Structure 1
């Protein structure tokens, strides 16, 4: 028994489908197929309306629904006895949902997490309508999910579209760029091991040697400038630097049981200050 349409204006195209099934490929068959699609297009547009306000334009949704309608027309077999509308609706809706799943996410999200997102979103709306706080524990009880699954679904709720780094983020009443709130690599971290390894050797140096190293590598002074400040020759400064670095390196290697640690000479641009008195 054929299922009646829920809309009186829905077309009766059964005779067209029967005729379409008996025609070979050619202009006549293509013309009848086009007429069937045009006749049912308003139904596809009505189904697209259900998914408006979800981040996609209505025009794009209508186009996706039309693709689903074309697929339904091509797959429908009137010889099976069922009406076209009950067959077409899940085909069109499935195409729309597939569009949201595969095309609308800014980054790839596993289908399992997408399903969790949909479950959590609907459950949150239900609990909110009842006036019940949508806590993770309450959502888990309402949906039958674990709290960890609820957490994943909640995270996915805010991951449908990526934000631009230029997007405004309210902070203490002031709007700042999202990019300004993100951390960055600290170049000084690469020197942590070297500094720790060099501590022992530096502490064993005489005060004048520490002073020379500080002026050269932290204050950025040239050897001639250091020599003038300390009242010694530039050659003497060069020897003090070379000898101090050798002792620091040997101290670091002796402290490493594998003897594989190499101390990098500090950059003149390094900002960290050694404890030099």
Structure 2
């Protein structure tokens, strides 16, 4: 229960003068809208701080701030003062979660320049206006003239706006064959497994030329024939410790060759 000193003649005194802990207790007991509004106002700074961290990432600050405020309200409604947590510690992940969700739903998939984003918005508005004004779909030339931009700028913004919403790989297109549609996934190239295999084999063969006969044999027996160090040691009539030492030396040579290849 909240402090009885806050009551006067059975009614709650000025809530603005109450401490945060008692405000939360009173709100949890009554769900009083006025108390909720006071709590929101007293904690708007949290929403503001977190919003600024996500500014200049493709979405207007005001939009982010509104989402952060919604997250703040959710946090106030869910907060339990009796659990002993600081409200700021509880509210922060809730607000950030709402902001990130908004970015996933509304944000640009790929970061594009702000001027392109702003022009893209203008183009969308121009399309609506010109469609009504001209009673037809506006051309690129119509839009460019209306916005006092070049046709190249309009085309650039329209192309960039396609990254705003990623396209599903399951989307289908009509094919020349009437019996079957083609998925977008089928039209996208993919890495050929055998190309990388050829490259790896070529690298391995060139590297093995720099190994002596014993090193080559240990490498082949260990990693191609899957033999243990003990079995290799017996076949070569050397100790298992020697095999282990040679194997480490071979792997070190391979590592250096890989590093050299990446640098080159």
TM-score tier by shorter-chain length is: 0.3 to 0.5
Q: Higher helix proportion, which one?
A: 2
After TM superposition, the score normalised by the length of structure 1 is 0.35
Mark the structure with the bigger radius of gyration.
1
The answer to which structure, 1 or 2, has the higher relative contact order (CA under 8 A, 6+ apart) is: 1
